[in-house]
Amino acid sequence: MPRSTLPLLLIFAVLFITFSGCTQTSDDRDWLVGRWELAYNPEHDDEDVLLFKTDGSVEIHTVDGRKVLGKYLLTKNKLAITLISRRQPIDVSFSINPDRTRLRFKNGAYYERKK
């Protein structure tokens, strides 16, 4: 193998190892899939419902009947959602309780899963 291709192969190997550990399977998301409702809301704003699907998509159902679509990504203790808006994507993040019973927003509000 030519010496000049070795650094390129090393870069691809590192990228493969890095990103292969980030791949989510449906098993990784099974605990999240389903309906989550706002259980605590310190700012008393809209009480919406989050509906997570196995394909990595999410629907937000608002109290006024609108449906907002998006995608989600899970890491160990974080949930990142990107919502599709008419103007620009909206990024929202939540921390996940260790027992996976709550999705906590930065203002202290949290969602709980409903069966």
User: Domain 25-114, CATH 3.40.50.720 — does that match?
Assistant: no
DSSP label of 33? -
pLDDT values of the chain reduced to their tens digit, one per residue, 115 residues: 555 544 433 343 333 333 334 445 555 789 999 999 999 999 887 788 999 999 999 999 998 999 999 999 998 899 999 999 888 899 999 999 999 999 999 999 999 999 7
Task: Please report which residue ranges of 36-94 form alpha helices under DSSP H.
Answer: none
Q: Pull the structure tokens for residue 26.
A: 């449906």
Domains of the chain by residue range: 25-114
Strand 57-61 to strand 67-74: parallel, antiparallel, or no bridges (unpaired)?
A: antiparallel
Provide the 3-class DSSP secondary structure of residue 2.
coil
CA 72 – CA 20 distance, rounded (Å): 18
Among 22, 23, 47, smallest CA distance to 37 is for 47
Provide the 3-class DSSP secondary structure of residue 91.
strand
